Structure 1
Amino acid sequence: MSALRKGSDKKILCQLSMLERSMAQGSEDPAVLVEESIQHAKEAVMLDIKDGNSWYNMGNAYLTSFFVGGAWDHTKLHHSVKAYQNAEKDKTMSLNPDLYYNCATNYERALRGFEAAALKDPGLGADREVQKIVSLLDKLENAMKGQLRSKRLASLVSSLNGVTLKSSHKKATISKLSEGLNKAVAVLGKVILLIRHDNIAPLYYLTCDLDQSYFILSVYGLRNDAIKEGDRVILYEPYYRILDASWKDKRYQFRSIRVDFPEQILINENAPAPHHVAHASIHAHNKP
């Protein structure tokens, strides 16, 4: 990297930031290189705060850091989203369909972004991504509609009553959660249905809590045979959101909990078995 003379060139700083992220993929300590990538991305932005490419590069750096850290530090994700939003303010970035891939942090935004990307560069295959997302939303909505009768549901959920927490976390139902990350809290749930879809991750389940309230559970970091229908799950420090997305005159609304880390979940009061943990490398999309 010494061959790259930083000087005060924002393009060189961005290239250096990208190089560090690339090197991090095969590094024993990727977090260090990704942190350096963030610092160089910041330096590039400081040289020209109106340059969309520099903001886009910073968004990629923070997004990579988010995943390298196990998708646990949501501050990094927030910084990433803000950087992508600043990148979009630069009109020249409308010619960069890659931006729509990385700034797709919710379904509606993803659909709009992929549709725009498909129009600007059909070779990206973004239209297929639109179809995948709509198909997924339809499946999630149908799962929420196909709820069990209350008597049978009460019988299924009754097994949760005897579950005790072996930690200082406080039991909570989904109605007690705040939007975002809920620290020092654990939600007990009964898995009703695995919702099959086109992507490998995350895994989606129709789940019910102690109050017999349904929600969609999305799980990262586990293989699809780790959790089975009928299993009890304990969800530590869950990330809660109310999904509200509209697309082509159709509106999707339901509650969801996201689990980013295998350490956040117990299955039938046991930690996931090692062979059920998925080791995936996730990084910001960057078309050469």
Structure 2
Amino acid sequence: MAADINNLSAAERAKAAVDDLYDYRDHYLERNGLEKAAQKPQDVQQKMNEILQLLEELKDGIKNKAEFCMLKGKVLNVQSHYDSQAEECLSKAIKLDPKLVEAWNNLGECYWKKGEIPSAKNCFTGALTHSKNKFSLRSLSMVLRQLSGSPAERAKLTEESVEKAREAVQLDITDGESWLILGNAYLSMFFMVGQNPKFLKQAMSAYSQAEKDTVTKNNADLHFNRAMAYKYQEEYQLALEGFNLAARLDPSWSEPTEQENKLMVFLTNVTELMDAKGKIKGKRLQTMVQSPRESDLGPYKGGSYTSHSGKTVKLERCTLSRLKTELNAEKVVVGRVVCSIPSDDPVPFTFCLIDEEETCVPVNVYNLAQGSGVKIGDTVAVPEPYLQLVKVNHRDKSFEYQSIRVDTPVVLVVNGRKLGLDKQAPTVLTVSAISD
């Protein structure tokens, strides 16, 4: 190997050293183990300093000054934080050679770290005018989703983001980073454009492909973003494991631990308030568990209702204890609200429903407009309720209970009246902005 290096030109040695630096960074956890994750930034910094010193030694032998500036800027850009010297070197490289695609890509990444999203977009678009490459395409995909605009404009940008990520994957179907960004694009698409379950399924499929890459499987963003999707699906065990792994992969990133803690608090609050029937006792509780009136069912009374498509749907009222852990077709349950669950996250809105048998079940309502939640004492009817089992064992704590999931509030009947479209709002999900 030493003989091979000695036979290389200064420019070739410099490029090989820079490639080695990025290989060191990308495969660090794979080679050193998760226990050294906290040490990674310092070790990469040390390696970076060594390569910078080597570049200075090779500088006079590199005739192409644009390439030298690009290589130096790329070295300075290796860490996750913005570096002004990296921006300076890369800008100079592009001035010297406007067709240097790698300089455009790295400068775009610099601007991204700096928070100058439109400038980052211009760089990646500029790179693509010279060469169609996966780095520019996937970077453009994540940048498009961060641009501001009206809801309609952002929806269009998200659709374009998916297309760019798909193009990147098609150029190299083995690249996990491209699959990760495609997964993030589909996840954003799910929440931005109609919440079609197909998009969520495509996001999860892309994340599975990303995990096959030895580099990407150690990417904290992958596990964080997938955990957010698991949380939305109420697969809380997998969500907690994902947040926990993301935190261990990147100990300097606080958000995974914050999300993990929030979810544990949420599960604790749900089980405690459910078991305590909202902490309502005595005569007030007895009033709440009286048999509901027919009028409490609103349009669902009489054994059937007419859907938006004009189809007649049969509905049989049943108690909460008779529900099966699945979609309970042609059934409707009705009860009184005994509490809402405090949570830092607006999605979902969770309350506990109690019926005449004193069965108490939490109900998670998604896409509810701000300030439109139900109040203690309200009567709520839920048609064709989807009941699922929550079973979690995490950090020496166990939770096990059944809950009802409601994907849109407009199916609910509150105090005898069906909720209108004004009570519905689009869900907003946090998707990691580190690689997304």
- Structure 2-normalised TM-score? 0.56
Match of 1:163 in 2: 296
Describe how 1:18-29 pairs up with structure 2 within 5 A.
18-23=142-147, 26-29=150-153
CA contact (8 A) 1:193 1:206 kept: yes
Larger gyration radius, structure 1 or structure 2 = 2
CA contact (8 A) 1:188 1:210 kept: no
The one-letter amino acid paired with 1:208 is I
Q: Considering fraction of residues, name the structure with more strand.
A: 1
Alignment of 1:1-288 (within 5 A): 3=126, 4-5=128-129, 8-23=132-147, 26-71=150-195, 73-104=196-227, 105=230, 106-125=235-254, 126-147=256-277, 152=285, 156=289, 158-159=291-292, 161-166=294-299, 167-168=305-306, 169=313, 170-171=315-316, 173=318, 175-176=322-323, 179=326, 186-208=332-354, 213-220=359-366, 221-224=368-371, 226-236=373-383, 238-272=385-419, 281-287=428-434
The answer (yes or no) to whether the contact 2:177–2:216 under 8 Å persists in 1 is yes
Answer yes or no: is the 8 Å Cα contact 1:157–1:208 preserved in 2.
Answer: no
* 8 A Cα contact 1:10 1:44, kept in partner: yes
The 10-residue stretch of structure 1 (162-171 or 11-20) with the greater mean CA deviation from structure 2:
162-171
Q: Secondary structure at the match of 2:296?
A: coil
Q: Cα gap change, 1:87/1:183 in structure 2, threshold over 3 Å: closer, same or farther?
A: farther
Quote the Cα distance in structure 2 between the aligned partners of 1:259 and 1:233: 12
Instruction: Give the CA deviation at 1:171.
Output: 4.5
Question: Displacement, 1:112?
Answer: 1.6
Q: Which has the higher contact order (CA 8 A, sep 6+)?
A: 1
Deviation string 1:239-278 (CA, Å, 9 cap, x unpaired) is 5421111113432111122233332333223355788666
Q: Work out the CA distance in 1 between the residues paired with 2:203 and 2:414.
A: 32
1:227 is paired with a residue whose SS is: coil
Judge conservation of contact 2:390–2:400 (CA < 8 Å) in 1: yes
What displacement does 1:185 show?
6.3
- 2:369–2:425 Cα contact (<8 Å) kept: yes
Q: Which moved more, 1:109-118 or 1:233-242?
A: 233-242
Aligned partners of 1:271 and 1:127: how far apart in 2? 39
**Cα gap change, 1:14/1:145 in structure 2, threshold over 3 Å: closer, same or farther?**
same
Runs of 4+ in 1 over 6 A off after TM superposition: 148-151, 181-185, 273-276
Change in CA separation of 1:269 and 1:44 when aligned onto 2, cut-off 3 Å:
farther
Q: What does the per-residue CA deviation read over 1:62-97, in whole Å, with 9 as the maximum and x for residues that have no partner?
A: 1111111354x2232222222223322322124421
C-alpha distance 185-136 of structure 1, shift in aligned 2 (>3 A): same
Once the two structures are TM-superposed, the CA of residue 172 in structure 1 deviates from its matched residue by: 5.8
- Aligned residue pairs: how many? 286
Structure 2: gaps spanning 5 or more residues: 1-120, 300-304, 307-312
SS at match of 1:217: strand
Q: Kindly tell me: are residues 198 and 30 of structure 1, through their superposed partners in 2, closer, same or farther at Cα, counting changes over 3 Å? A: closer
Structure 1: distance between partners of 2:203 and 2:282:
42
How far did 1:35 drift?
2.5
CA–CA separation in structure 2 for the residues paired with 1:37 and 1:234: 40
Instruction: Check 1:102–1:216 CA distance in 2 against 1; reply closer, same or farther (3 A cut).
Output: same
Contact 1:17 1:40 in 2 (8 A): yes
> Does the 8 A contact of 1:160 with 1:188 survive in 2?
no
Does the 8 Å CA contact 1:187/1:235 hold for their aligned counterparts? Answer: yes
Q: 1:205 is matched by which residue type in structure 2?
A: F
Q: Deviations over 1:210-238 (max 9, x none)?
A: 76543211123233563101112233565
- Higher mean alpha-carbon deviation, 231-240 vs 103-112, is at 231-240
CA–CA distance in structure 1, aligned partners of residues 159 and 331 of structure 2 = 30
Counterparts of 1:95 and 1:111, CA distance in 2? 17
Unaligned residue ranges in structure 1 (runs of 5+): none
